[in-house]
Amino acid sequence: MGRSYIPIVGILLLFFCLVSVSQAEYLKYKDPKQPLNVRIRDLLKRMTLEEKIGQMTQIERLNATADVMKKYFIGSVLSGGGSVPAPKASPEAWVQMVNEMQKGSLSTRLGIPMIYGIDAVHGHNNVYNATIFPHNVGLGVTRQVFICSNEDPVLVKRIGEATALEVRATGVPYVFAPCIAVCRDPRWGRCYESYSEDPRIVRTMTEIIPGLQGDIPGNSRKGVPYVAGKNKVAACAKHYLGDGGTNKGINENNTLISYNGLLSIHMPAYYDSIVKGVSTVMVSYSSWNGIKMHANKDLVTGYLKNKLRFRGFVISDWQGIDRITSPPHANYSYSVQAGISAGIDMIMVPYSYTEFIDILTSQVKNGIIPMSRIDDAVSRILRVKFTMGLFENPYADQSLVNQLGSKEHRELAREAVRKSLVLLKNGKSAGNPILPIPKKTGKILVAGSHADNLGYQCGGWTIQWQGLGGNDLTVGTTILDAVKQTVDADTEVVYNENPDENFVKSSKFSYAIVVVGEPPYAETFGDSLNLTIAQPGPSTIHNVCGSIKCVVVLITGRPVVIQPYLSDIDALVAAWLPGTEGQGVADLLFGDYGFTGKLARTWFKTVDQLPMNVGDKHYDPLFPFGFGLTTQPTKY
């Protein structure tokens, strides 16, 4: 009896071990054959409060070591503007960095992968050697609602596809784009991130979302997020809601508009984005009629989640809940409660993440925030992660590194530049056009602060948050280089950034191309009440255009004051912020292609008229919405 007891106990222990091992081996949430909701519920019921709040936390990459990811169960990491593994880092270095963080996440008890997010608002704009496309203000020109000829409805979708490949080339699966703000006042420092003042154009440009994420299957329910595999990225419609309508265009300010006005101007593009399967929505810093959007439960939960049936996750902006109070972070406990209660699911807390985690944990344990709100947030985050295939393919590989800055993508960006330029004036009279300039001519002067400055050409949100000046920031073609590469071999090109009148008059130039505009800026730093061309731009226009036939090319994020100089200018081109492919500008100036672009923004006479948008009673523009002269390509 005694001798047989030990073997029986051993057999029973072995049996229970085998049972437990078999149970451990099969977890429904790890089975891609299980229905999505089954996987979400299975994982959610296994999670502790600590693990759930970790999923709701997004931190800056500077803090995101593998140990931090594991200790706090962090759900997401981001790169702020200009936050990179190293200056001019290779795509391989990016992949290695992202994977190192992912190791920490996968080593946790449940192995929930983190999602890495980055601003890719006009191409993969933080990354050296990436293709930088024109900013949205230019892309809005490429598709007009009222002008049916020359439109290319798939151009922005193709840009989305190219951007997704370049972002994935660096191991990143999530982008904070597109910005679908409807900028109603060009004094706003983010106006270049908006496609148009007209919500109808902004709606058409949401076609970038299926470019980034893939086309949503025909049988999908409205509002369900969709990402079509490893060559696509999760997108983010931003900034919800009314960020482009703030008083006097002041960034993060108050949008004073009726409920019907809010829904008719600022909401339609969100409806389209949700129908197209957008994965995430970012909340705006701004207020609507005095209520901070980060604390607006009626619009975030009531309208976006309940009425529009959005099933992805809602993310805050950078330290967005801090700014619920004035000054920011003055009552952080209140801010956490207000933001989470409003319906924000993932909180961008780049630095003070332990404070956020501690406060939210305490609020849940004390019944201030119900567990149902936490479960809703985490379910939405998990839905996006499962849909993307992150559980099956959590690690990035190097199979796409050659996509970064590829020749094909640069040609696409060059095409986008050509289609985004607007010809506002061509000759002192209609019967005497100056454009296109002949490639074979005596001597061409190229002048202006923006003619040989790749950083100025790209604008803000390029390599650094505020952008950079100079030609060492990334790889591309300046307008000066493009002119030199386009003209006939016998044509002399002379560059003088800011020539005086004597130089201009004494040098016997046939033509001049003057490239001036705004310096780079982003967000509040770009707010402007005067909207003037930066000095010495006006003096360059005066010195050059008073003496010889001149084409002025404006590099700006919005319409600027140009009326005082217009009589001296022979031809005027709005080139916006064209990005790295300056050759697209020369393509039109010298007639390889014709101008086709039509204004997606009203061009004012004076800032005293602002805000002024198409349809307003006091509409009296210098160049109206939809205006744009055309030229025919020249065969040489």
Q: Which helix (H) or strand (E) holds 139?
A: helix 136-139
Q: What is the pLDDT of residue 78?
A: 98
Query: Looking at domain 28-403, does it have CATH number 3.90.1150.10?
Result: no
- Structure token digits, residue 192: 């270049």
Amino acid at 176: F
As a whole number of Å, the end-to-end CA separation of the chain is 106
Contacts of 401 (CB under 8 A, 6+ apart): 90, 91, 92, 95, 169
Q: What is the pLDDT of residue 428?
A: 86
* CB-based contact 176:167 (threshold 8 Å): no
pLDDT exceeds cutoff 90 at 116: yes
Q: What is the pLDDT of residue 92?
A: 98
Q: What is the pLDDT of residue 5?
A: 42
pLDDT digits (tens, 9 = 90+) for 590-611: 999 999 999 999 999 999 999 9
| CA atoms in the 13 A half-sphere facing the CB of 106 | 14
pLDDT exceeds cutoff 60 at 1: no
* CB-based contact 269:237 (threshold 8 Å): yes
* CB-based contact 202:244 (threshold 8 Å): no
pLDDT exceeds cutoff 50 at 589: yes
Burial of 505 (0-12, 13-18, 19+ CB in 10 A): middle
pLDDT digits (tens, 9 = 90+) for 10-63: 554 545 544 444 445 699 999 999 999 999 999 999 999 999 999 999 999 999
- Looking at domain 421-623, its CATH architecture is 3-Layer(aba) Sandwich (3.40)
Q: What is the pLDDT of residue 25?
A: 64
Q: What is the pLDDT of residue 18?
A: 45
* CB-based contact 104:66 (threshold 8 Å): yes
Residue 410 CA from chain centroid, whole number = 18
Q: What is the mean pLDDT of residues 99-120?
A: 98
Q: What is the pLDDT of residue 408?
A: 98
Burial of 583 (0-12, 13-18, 19+ CB in 10 A): buried
pLDDT exceeds cutoff 80 at 556: yes
Spatial CA neighbour of 81 closest among 471, 470, 403, 522: 522
* CB-based contact 61:79 (threshold 8 Å): yes
Query: Distance between CA 520 and CA 410 in Å, rounded?
Result: 22
**Average pLDDT taken over every residue of the chain:** 95
Q: What is the pLDDT of residue 636?
A: 53
pLDDT exceeds cutoff 80 at 540: yes
Q: What is the mean pLDDT of residues 561-565?
A: 98
pLDDT digits (tens, 9 = 90+) for 496-539: 999 999 999 999 999 999 999 999 999 999 999 999 999 999 99
pLDDT band at 635 (very low <50, low <70, confident <90, very high): confident
Residues labelled as active-site residues: 317, 523
Q: Which residue has the tokens 């909701």?
A: 37
Strand partners, 88: none
pLDDT exceeds cutoff 50 at 9: no
Q: What is the pLDDT of residue 143?
A: 75
Q: Do domains 28-403 and 421-623 have the same CATH topology?
A: no
pLDDT band at 8 (very low <50, low <70, confident <90, very high): low
Query: Distance between CA 486 and CA 587 in Å, rounded?
Result: 8
Every domain of the chain and the residues it spans: 28-403, 421-623
pLDDT digits (tens, 9 = 90+) for 157-179: 999 999 999 999 999 999 999 99
pLDDT digits (tens, 9 = 90+) for 382-404: 999 999 999 999 999 999 999 99
Three-state DSSP state, 455: helix
Three-state DSSP state, 327: coil
Helices 353-365 and 332-342 pack at an angle, to 10 degrees, of 70
- Structure token digits, residue 574: 């709005």
Asked, as a colleague might, if the bond just before 239 is cis with ω within 30 of 0, I would say yes
What is the value of pTM for the model shown? 0.95
Concatenate the DSSP letters of all residues of 346-401 into one string.
Answer: BEE-SS-HHHHHHHHHHHHHTTSS-HHHHHHHHHHHHHHHHHHTTTT--S--STTG
Q: Tally helices (H) and strands (E) across the chain.
A: 21, 17
Spatial CA neighbour of 503 closest among 585, 447, 463, 455: 447
Q: Which helix (H) or strand (E) holds 268?
A: helix 268-275
Q: What is the pLDDT of residue 431?
A: 85
- Structure token digits, residue 238: 């931003």
pLDDT digits (tens, 9 = 90+) for 142-151: 975 444 444 4
Rg (CA), the chain: 27
Q: What is the pLDDT of residue 21?
A: 45
| CA atoms in the 13 A half-sphere facing the CB of 120 | 34
The three-point CA angle 304-310-311 to 5° equals 140
pLDDT digits (tens, 9 = 90+) for 459-469: 999 999 999 99
For residues 417-444, one letter each, b for 16 or more C-beta atoms within 10 angstroms of the residue's C-beta and e for the rest, the string is: bbbbbbbbbbeeeeeebbbbbebeeeeb
Spatial CA neighbour of 73 closest among 269, 361, 284: 361
pLDDT exceeds cutoff 80 at 266: yes
Residue 362 CA from chain centroid, whole number = 35
pLDDT band at 430 (very low <50, low <70, confident <90, very high): confident
